[in-house]
Structure 1
Amino acid sequence: MPEYERTVRVAAVQAEPAWLDLDAGIEKTLRLAAEAKEKGAELVAFPETWLPGYPWFLWLGSVAWQSQFIVKYAQNSLVLGEEHWNRLAEGVRALGLTVVLGYSEREGGSLYMGQAIISPEGRTLMTRRKLKPTHVERTQFGEGDGSDVAVVDTPVGRVGALNCWEHLQPLTKYAMYAQQEQLHVAAWPSFCVMQDGAYALGAEVNVSASRVYAVEGQCFVLAPCGVIGDAAHAAFGGDPERDALLGRGGGHARIFGPDGRSLAEPLAPEEEGIIVAELDYAAILAAKNAADPVGHYSRPDVFTLQVRREGRLPKVLELPLSGEAGAAAGAPAGAPVGVAAGTEADEELAGLLAAAE
Structure 2
Amino acid sequence: MSDTCRVAVVQAEPAWLDIEAGVEKTISLIDEAADAGAALVAFPETWLPGYPIFLWLGPVVWQMPFVARYHANSISVDSHHLTTIRKAARRRGIIVVLGYSEKVHGSLYMAQTIIGTDGEVLLHRRKLKPTHVERSLFGEGDGSGLKVIDTELGRLGALNCWEHLQPLNRYAMFAQHEQIHVAAWPAFGLYKDIAPAIGSEANMAVSQTYALEGGCFVLAATQVISEAGIEVFAGTDEQRALITAGSGCSRVYAPDSTLLSKPLDEHAEGLVLADLDLALIDLAKNAADPAGHYARPDVTRLLLDTRPSSPVISPEFANEPLFPDLDEITDETTVDG
TM over 0.5: yes
Counterpart residue number, 2:109: 112
What does 1:244-323 align with in structure 2 at a 5 Å threshold? 244-316=241-313
Q: Once structures 1 and 2 are overlaid, which stretch shifts more, 260-269 or 229-238? A: 229-238
Q: 1:316 to 1:119 in 2, by over 3 A?
A: closer
Aligned residue identity for 2:244: G
Q: Distance in 1 between matches of 2:306 and 2:200?
A: 33
Contact 1:119 1:155 in 2 (8 A): no
User: Cα deviation per residue 1:322-341 (whole Å; 9 max; x = unaligned)?
Assistant: xxxxxxxxxxxxxxxxxxxx
Counterpart residue number, 1:36: 33
Work out whether 1:103 is the aligned partner of 2:107: no
Contact 2:8 2:40 in 1 (8 A): yes
User: Cα deviation per residue 1:1-46 (whole Å; 9 max; x = unaligned)?
Assistant: xx6x610100100000001111110110010111111111000000
| Structure index of larger Rg | 1
Contact 1:190 1:252 in 2 (8 A): no
1:246 partner SS: coil
Counterpart residue number, 1:202: 199
Q: Which of 53, 57, 72 matches 2:54? A: 57
Aligned residue identity for 1:209: V
Counterpart residue number, 1:15: 12
Unaligned runs of 5+ in 1: 318-357
Counterpart residue number, 2:160: 163
Q: Tell me the TM-score normalized by structure 1.
A: 0.86
1:11 partner SS: strand
Cα drift, residue 120 of structure 1: 1.2
User: Cα deviation per residue 1:205-247 (whole Å; 9 max; x = unaligned)?
Assistant: 1000000000000000000100011332231012211111121
Higher relative contact order (CA 8 A, sep 6+): 2
2:5 partner SS: strand
**RMSD across aligned C-alpha pairs, in angstroms?**
1.3
Cα drift, residue 96 of structure 1: 1.4
Identity %, equivalent residues: 55
2:103 partner SS: strand
2:241 partner SS: helix
Contact 2:3 2:153 in 1 (8 A): no
Contact 1:19 1:231 in 2 (8 A): no
Counterpart residue number, 1:211: 208
Work out whether 1:48 is the aligned partner of 2:17: no
Q: Tell me the TM-score normalized by structure 2.
A: 0.91
Counterpart residue number, 1:345: none
Unaligned runs of 5+ in 2: 315-337
Q: Distance in 1 between matches of 2:249 and 2:59?
A: 28
What does 1:159-198 align with in structure 2 at a 5 Å threshold? 159-198=156-195
Q: Distance in 2 between matches of 1:114 and 1:228?
A: 21
Size of the aligned set, in residue pairs, is 315
Contact 1:60 1:246 in 2 (8 A): no
Cα drift, residue 316 of structure 1: 4.7
Cα drift, residue 312 of structure 1: 3.2
